[in-house]
Structure 1
Amino acid sequence: MVMAPIVGLWQTPAQAQTPANDDVTVELIQLLVESGVLKKEQASALLQRAQARAAQAAQAQPAAQSDTVTAQPGDVRVPYVPTTVRKEIEKNVKDDMLAQAKAENWAQPNTFPDWVSRITLEGDVRVRDESRLYDSRNSNELIDFAAFNRDGPVPTIVANQANPFDFKYLNTRKDRRNLWRYRARLGVKADVSDNWRAGIRLASGSDNNPVSTSDTFGDGMSKKDIWLDNAWISWQAAPWATFTAGRASSPFMATDMLFADDLQFDGISAQLAQNTSENPLALFGNLGMYALDFSHNPWRAESGTEGESENKWLMGAQVGAHWQLNEDNRLTGALAYYRFDNVEGHRSSACTVFSASDGCDSDWSRPAFMQKGNTLFLLRDIRQWSSDPNDWNEWQYVGLASKFDLLDLNLAWETALFDNLDLRLDGNYIRNLAYDKDEMIRRAGGIDNIVTNAEGSTQSGTADVKSGPNAWMMQATFGRGIALAQQGNWRLFTGYKYIQPDALPDGFNDSSFHQGGTNARGYFLGGAYAFDKHLWGQASWSSSREVYGAPLSIDVIRVDLNAQF
């Protein structure tokens, strides 16, 4: 902000033609205004104080006659001030400025270390009331295969008899009402240099699963766990290109039908994007390579080694565009390809196990994390060591029957309606290009080894796998300020999801809808309201059931209070 020139300040009659801003104090005040340190109102207050003291001095000592200086519009005229009064005013002005500077913490720029100015803190807290409601007609014989692998190997046969007693089953009929849950995250970002940044974030969570950082209150009011959720370094090579290495948020445009909102990606990413403010049609692209599991087998006594294993990777590439049709309409589209490398299970070579501590050569191929829905098969081809059937035991793991190479299409249309209302429509279609039912059966070593999504029997010739490679979702969001960036903003949303069992890996998507995973279809709806700029509430309901197989209907109701800082 620039002040108007100040004419006549501190002038003697002989100095009437001398520019007033030659005076050191006036220059100092004007420079402080120009640099933004002082506001114009503050400078005016200082000048008014000077005028008042000058008037007092004028009464004590008549001002000498001088030629009149022609005033310009916006100029301020102050009578002549004697030297003694001027020095006193200078001292008072300096004292006032120093006092204000100390109060506003700009007088001592080196008070804090340099690194403080390069650090940004951010975080959020969510408190939730959640109810999980199950249909009483649901099957009560659905095995929890995530726990089967996590706690395994599990004895599926004991003394030549099928063993259901060590299996863990999914809760399918007992409602869980009013679970009080929370999520807390705290992150630090640092500007290492002009083009380099680094960040870390801590988050809550009931365990180390990748798709949720929520935890449940209670448990005797015990203290809660904290996990490392983010750790990354990024380099902005150009205004349109950023590269990130470490554990960071997803760079891809994707819905929670494929990747949960809380999911973080371990690896390297590249984000390329044109400036949307300068281009009505702006292109963007994302690339990434991420580590899913550095797998290994247990040490095997019979071979004296761990044996061979394969690391598991996710590789993704996406291209898209933002198109600003006009002031009120905007289209966004993106097409992505994701390759999940080595995530499918491998049937082992013939192996003999004497106890749960023994391993087989394909144990490494079991999923590192899973929810439910994918087609699974028994990994171990176990050969019994005894000729007596009473000695026959079988400890097993399960693996994914399908490979996953995904084509992912996302479209979004945003439009401004009447009365400052907005509408956004989203669509998402996913197809697993690697889905092959016959290949899945061969990979399992026969349909008899498939333990989910299989129907019929080999004896009757009706055995078949009930699955599919497709998933799609549609969502409509309506409201005022859909992003909830200001107090009073609100939104309503509704949508539908349809996910066939092997359309995508079941371990990485939203853990709320159908309690996570695939083989699910149903509706969801909800609304949110911003109580303040960084405080909002949301209520949502989803109702889902299976696509194929045994009946499993689940309703989930959530009421959230969110705070962000």
Structure 2
Amino acid sequence: MISHVNRLTLAVGMVIATLVGQATAAPAAPSENATINLIRLLVQQGVLKQEQAEGLIAQAEKEAQQARQASTATAVAAGPATAPGDVRVQYVPAAVRDQIRDQVKAEVMATAKQENWAQPNTFPDWVSRISFDGDIRLRDESRYFSGNNSNEIVDYAKLNDSGPYDVNKDTNSKLPPLLNTRQDRSNSMRLRARLGMKAVVAPDWTAGIRIGTGSDNNPVSTTQALGGGFGKKDIWLDQGYLTWKATQDLTLTGGRFANPFFSTDMMYSNDLNFDGVAALFNHKLSSDWSVFGTLGAFPVEYSSDTASNNGLDKEDSDNKWLFGGQIGANWKINNTNSLKGALAYYRFDSIEGQRSSPCTPWAGQPSCDSDGSRSAFMQKGNSVFLLRNISANPATPGLTPQPQYVGLASKFDVLDLNLVWDSELPNDFKLRSQTNFIHNLAYDKGEMLKRSEGEIVNNINRDGQFESGANAMMVQFTLGSALEMKKAGDWNVLAGYKYIQPDALPDGFNDSSFHLGGTNAKGYFIGGNYGIDKNIYASARWLSASEVYGAPFEVDVMQLELNTRF
């Protein structure tokens, strides 16, 4: 920085001296030695290069000769010599002045750009490459249960988390964890707050991080229950990813990121993020047509390093994966109608439970060899069975404890078809018609009974028979002045219906509000949204659902929300 100041001071001084000389006195007889010495000084200060100086010296000598001739002619024409008090300033050749001006300008501008003081109210370059966004949602939720509901519906997700649970009633008098199916819950205040940062680390590379609230590590909700004695709330890493725009049409993302597939909350919750890698393709064919596609690989759960049944060996590696692929198209039919459709295939690898080989926990065996096949996260609805094949104690066969975990009875290879039709109606109304159909290609009732060895424990009808299914469907209609709430006065209303058989899809990843999450549910939902101000809107929803098969379980959910995003 010191060298820049020295050069700048010298150059400015020279320019001022030149201008003053031109303004206050006629050209005086030049001193050739002074000009050459000045040029050499500029070389020493690094303002000029040696080869440039040599050319300037030659030019200076030429101009000095011309100046002497002009000075002589001027003196003859002007008459008497200059009066006392006149200032005589050394002549600086025009080429030197131009070189000084250009050099000073270049160095000053370079320093200004580097230190970002050339433009007022600006910031360093890295600031312009980072952006923030976020949202806050305040929710009041009430749950109303039917008095005809069964009060003996086991919470198998909690059983797995807190288990194993002894299912032998002769050795265990404690009840298993049960769902609340009869006691209403009114006006539960809830909060969702998320803050994200995106950084452009290179022209085609973007990094992103987002944090969010949440009562636990539940993957389908970042909603935090308020209360709890005004205790502080937890913050979780909601997203963390790196994206590379490989081409104009192809983007690759890895880490933890938002759902890359075009889907509804019947398949994947709107709050669900994916761990893994995904490639997204989007290509415009014409002004009316475009195609898109997604491929992804996502580790659902890795094998743990817990002990095997002898306490010394480790369990075999049996990692659980989700592999997904989707292809779709957008068609602008005309100025008032557009259609978007996509077909996806999701293969959930090794997510089903496995019946163990004979084991003896009652004799001190720490675990059974299929304990790791239980799901890392469940909601409810999927058919489940007892994983452990516990051998009876020969001394007390009927009094042998049966500490159990449960696993999924079905495999899941899911086809997911989505269609969305947007229409513009008279009076500036907009209508969105949406349908979603899901089918589990891997569903096989006979295979499920064989895999479970007859130990399926839910979705049992009144006759004691197992019932399930592989299909799910949803229809929804949204009508209003806007489909997305962006400004004050925007509004819409919506209504829809869902029918989800128990084993149409994994119950751990879909919407947690309809029937309080999971599968084995049917019913309707209605709602509306109204824009209060820019990026602020209010919402209301009513969801009414009951079971498809098994024990009676009907619940209505009301949600009142205030949403804002920034």
- Which residue identity lines up with residue 168 of structure 1 in the other structure? P
**Pair 1:470 & 2:476 matched:** no
Query: 1-side partners of 2:204 and 2:344: how far apart?
Result: 28
Query: 1-side partners of 2:168 and 2:367: how far apart?
Result: 16
Q: 451, 457, 460: which is aligned to 1:454?
A: 460
* Per-residue Cα deviation, 1:277-316 (whole angstroms, up to 9, x for no partner): x531111101111010002363136262122131000011
Spell out the pairing of 1:3-152 with structure 2 (5 A cutoff): 107-108=118-119, 112-152=123-163
Contact preservation (8 Å) 1:378, 1:451: yes
Partner residue, 1:304: 312
Query: 2-side partners of 1:309 and 1:170: how far apart?
Result: 33
Partner residue, 1:493: 494
Contact preservation (8 Å) 1:155, 1:166: no
- Which residue identity lines up with residue 183 of structure 2 in the other structure? K
Partner residue, 1:421: 429
Query: 2-side partners of 1:315 and 1:357: how far apart?
Result: 35
TM-score, normalised to structure 2's length?
Answer: 0.77
Deviation of the 1:391 alpha carbon: 5.2
Contact preservation (8 Å) 1:297, 1:364: no
Query: 1-side partners of 2:348 and 2:272: how far apart?
Result: 16
**Pair 1:545 & 2:546 matched:** yes
Contact preservation (8 Å) 2:199, 2:208: yes
Partner residue, 2:391: 383
Q: 276, 279, 282: which is aligned to 1:270?
A: 279
Partner residue, 1:340: 348
The change in CA–CA distance for 1:375 and 1:131 in structure 2 (over 3 A counts) is same
Query: 2-side partners of 1:133 and 1:166: how far apart?
Result: 24
The structure whose residues are more often helix, as a share, is 2
Partner residue, 1:280: 288
Identity %: 52
Deviation of the 1:455 alpha carbon: 3.8
Query: 1-side partners of 2:230 and 2:364: how far apart?
Result: 36
Q: 318, 322, 334: which is aligned to 2:326?
A: 318
Partner residue, 2:46: none
Deviation of the 1:355 alpha carbon: 7.5
Partner residue, 2:481: 480
Query: 2-side partners of 1:390 and 1:497: how far apart?
Result: 45
Partner residue, 2:270: 261
Q: 181, 202, 221: which is aligned to 1:172?
A: 181
Partner residue, 1:291: 299
Partner SS for 1:373: coil
Contact preservation (8 Å) 1:122, 1:187: yes
Contact preservation (8 Å) 1:249, 1:264: yes
* Per-residue Cα deviation, 1:208-259 (whole angstroms, up to 9, x for no partner): 0100000111100100000000000000011111000000001111000000
Partner SS for 2:489: coil
Deviation of the 1:358 alpha carbon: 1.6
Which range moves more in the overlay, 388-397 or 427-436? Answer: 388-397
Deviation of the 1:394 alpha carbon: 1.4
- Which residue identity lines up with residue 228 of structure 1 in the other structure? L
Deviation of the 1:454 alpha carbon: 2.7
- Which residue identity lines up with residue 452 of structure 2 in the other structure? A
Partner residue, 1:95: none
Query: 2-side partners of 1:317 and 1:517: how far apart?
Result: 23
TM-score, normalised to structure 1's length?
Answer: 0.77
Where do 5+ consecutive residues of structure 1 fail to align?
Answer: 1-104, 457-461
Query: 2-side partners of 1:483 and 1:301: how far apart?
Result: 55
- Which residue identity lines up with residue 547 of structure 1 in the other structure? V
Where do 5+ consecutive residues of structure 2 fail to align?
Answer: 1-115
Deviation of the 1:445 alpha carbon: 1.1
Query: 2-side partners of 1:123 and 1:356: how far apart?
Result: 51
- Which residue identity lines up with residue 354 of structure 2 in the other structure? H
Contact preservation (8 Å) 1:273, 1:285: yes
* Per-residue Cα deviation, 1:338-379 (whole angstroms, up to 9, x for no partner): 000000000000111037982100111000000000100000
Which range moves more in the overlay, 357-366 or 433-442? Answer: 357-366
Partner SS for 1:474: strand
Contact preservation (8 Å) 1:519, 1:548: yes
* Per-residue Cα deviation, 1:305-337 (whole angstroms, up to 9, x for no partner): 122131000011000000001111000000010
Partner residue, 1:196: 205
- Which residue identity lines up with residue 137 of structure 1 in the other structure? N
Query: 1-side partners of 2:408 and 2:547: how far apart?
Result: 19
Contact preservation (8 Å) 2:142, 2:188: yes
Contact preservation (8 Å) 2:255, 2:275: yes
Contact preservation (8 Å) 1:349, 1:381: yes
Partner residue, 2:371: 363
Contact preservation (8 Å) 1:289, 1:315: yes
Query: 1-side partners of 2:386 and 2:208: how far apart?
Result: 41
- Which residue identity lines up with residue 498 of structure 2 in the other structure? K
Partner residue, 1:23: none
Partner residue, 2:382: 374
* Per-residue Cα deviation, 1:100-135 (whole angstroms, up to 9, x for no partner): xxxxx9854696332111000000000011001100
Partner residue, 1:393: 401
Taking only aligned residues, the RMSD between alpha carbons, in angstroms, comes to: 1.9
Q: Tell me how many residue pairs correspond in the alignment.
A: 452
- Which residue identity lines up with residue 477 of structure 1 in the other structure? T
Contact preservation (8 Å) 1:356, 1:395: no
- Which residue identity lines up with residue 127 of structure 1 in the other structure? L
Partner SS for 1:165: coil
Partner residue, 2:249: 240
- Which residue identity lines up with residue 458 of structure 2 in the other structure? T
Partner SS for 1:530: strand
Spell out the pairing of 1:500-511 with structure 2 (5 A cutoff): 500-511=501-512
Spell out the pairing of 1:224-235 with structure 2 (5 A cutoff): 224-235=233-244
